[in-house]
Amino acid sequence: MESHPKLRPVDAATGGIFFAGCAESPKDIKDSVTQASAAAARAGILMAKGKVTVEAITPIVFPEKCKACGLCVKVCPYNAIILNKEKKRIEIIEAACGGCGTCAAECPFGALTQSHFTDDQIIGQIDAVTEYDADKKIVAFNCNWCSYAGADFAGVSRMQYPPNVRIIRTMCSGRVAPKFIERAFARGAAAVLVSGCHIGDCHYINANYQTQKRVERFWKKMEQSGLNKERLQLLWCSAAEGEKFASKIREMKSTVDSVKPQEIEKAKEVFKKALEGS
């Protein structure tokens, strides 16, 4: 898919790749020539700069923690991570990185984090929103491009939904690591919502596929631990679907109201390891 159908119709989600003619979709010769000219012009602008400008949200690597497992390499939607087998560590190609943070969420050893969306910053936000009356709150992780914009649209449109939701913004839902969800439950949160772009419409190509896999694994873990998996919800929401977001929060409010103190305490016990080292 193109990066934006109106503002960037020949740009791919990956920088430096442009569409021309039938590479994007079936079209006649006239439209193909027009699009090819546009693609050439966009490429010319990029080449004329002489330097590549990247977002300041690329990953930070801690080489001493890296075990060279290669998990981050597999989930990177931009192929921007290389596993150096000789040095037994990973290397980041910053010019290719889109800054989704999926690699940081996938790393089980804490060898990766994301600039401006570091683990400590996100954990700090989780602790802040669960400081008081956590057992009555919904901790929502919203991606910057769609679900956060959808929540904002719900607000400016005066759509009514319960005020007990606390939103934590990430660049992509793929940045939401299982340890963040564990932290929220260990702090006594009644429910957690992970929300992102629709499958197939991710700003970072396919990073939200990793989100889905992680949440599904987490549901299994909750069931095995005897916890109510309804306390963790997954929502795909676009920037125009403010009512969908509001409706999900209203739906989750009933779940929050039904959660008993014993359930809260049990979740705290199951995920207490998430608080270690804090």
The C-alpha atoms of residue 109 and residue 190 are separated, in whole angstroms, by 28
Q: What confidence tens digit (pLDDT) does each residue in 173-216 have?
A: 999 999 999 999 999 999 999 999 999 888 898 999 999 999 99
Whole-number average pLDDT of the chain: 93
Q: How much is the average pLDDT of 34-49?
A: 92
Q: How much is the average pLDDT of 33-57?
A: 90
pLDDT at 259 exceeding the cut of 80:
yes
Would you give the distance in Å from CA 86 to the centre of its chain? 31
Q: How much is the average pLDDT of 216-227?
A: 97
Q: How much is the average pLDDT of 142-168?
A: 95
Supply the pTM of this predicted model.
0.89
Tokens of 263: 């359930």
Would you give the distance in Å from CA 11 to the centre of its chain? 22
User: Whose CA is closest to 13, among 172, 158, 138?
Assistant: 172
C-alpha torsion 227→232→233→239, nearest 10? 180
